[in-house]
């Protein structure tokens, strides 16, 4: 289990992120049109997994906006914005905000993502939601960067995550 902070108080996650250099675990997530996607759907591409608790918090919403802006135009790269929010909430948020450069994805029909990436918060006010984390996967399917954000209310290091794509 990883120990992170929620409002300065320690909380645990269900485990640790995949190790840098390991093969990224596959997953099943649901897009806004209710179709399923998996890691295999992005074969040959670089992938940023922007993982967060909920669209309804300012930091989570900000991370989607920031990755949407910073990832625009990066060749052969997809950014998946992942939470347990319903696909309909992802769709509404992205349409309202004009978000077009990321793939909104929900853990909706399967627990394959949380089982593989071990980001589920185990205690505290956000029990059952995902912690804030970033995983970058290269075009061969290897994990090249991870960040388990120490304080749930803090933003990830966007520049380090995007630098890992180079």
CB 85, CB 55: distance < 8 Å: yes
CB 79, CB 103: distance < 8 Å: yes
- What pLDDT was estimated at residue 68? 87
Residue 153 to residue 147: CA distance in whole angstroms: 14
- What pLDDT was estimated at residue 88? 96
- What pLDDT was estimated at residue 60? 85
- What topology is assigned to 3-163 in CATH? Glutaredoxin (3.40.30)
Residue 152 to residue 11: CA distance in whole angstroms: 10
**pLDDT tens-digit profile, the chain (166 residues):** 899 999 999 999 999 999 999 999 999 999 999 999 999 999 999 999 999 999 998 888 889 999 888 887 789 999 999 999 999 999 999 999 999 989 999 999 999 999 999 999 999 999 999 999 999 999 999 999 999 999 999 999 999 999 999 8
| Phi/psi of residue 27, nearest 5 degrees | -155, 170
- What pLDDT was estimated at residue 102? 92
Residue ranges of domains in the chain: 3-163
Q: Which residues are catalytic?
A: 60
DSSP helix/strand/coil, 94 = helix
């Amino acid at each position: 289990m990883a120990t992170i902070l929620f409002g300065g108080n320690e909380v645990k996650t269900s485990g640790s992120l995949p190790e840098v250099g390991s093969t990224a675990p596959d997953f099943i997530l649901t897009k806004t049109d209710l179709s399923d996607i998996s890691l295999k759907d992005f074969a040959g591409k670089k992938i940023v997994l922007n993982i967060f608790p909920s669209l309804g918090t300012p930091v989570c919403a900000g991370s989607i906006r920031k990755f949407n802006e910073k990832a625009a135009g990066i060749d052969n790269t997809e950014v998946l914005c992942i939470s347990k929010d319903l696909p309909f909430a992802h769709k509404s948020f992205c349409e309202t905000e004009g978000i077009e450069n990321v793939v909104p994805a929900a853990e909706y029909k399967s627990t394959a993502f949380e089982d593989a990436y071990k980001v589920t918060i185990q205690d505290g006010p956000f029990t059952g939601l995902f912690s804030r984390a970033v995983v970058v996967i290269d075009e061969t399917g290897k994990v090249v960067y991870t960040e388990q954000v120490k304080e749930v209310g803090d933003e990830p290091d966007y520049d380090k995550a995007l630098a890992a794509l180079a």
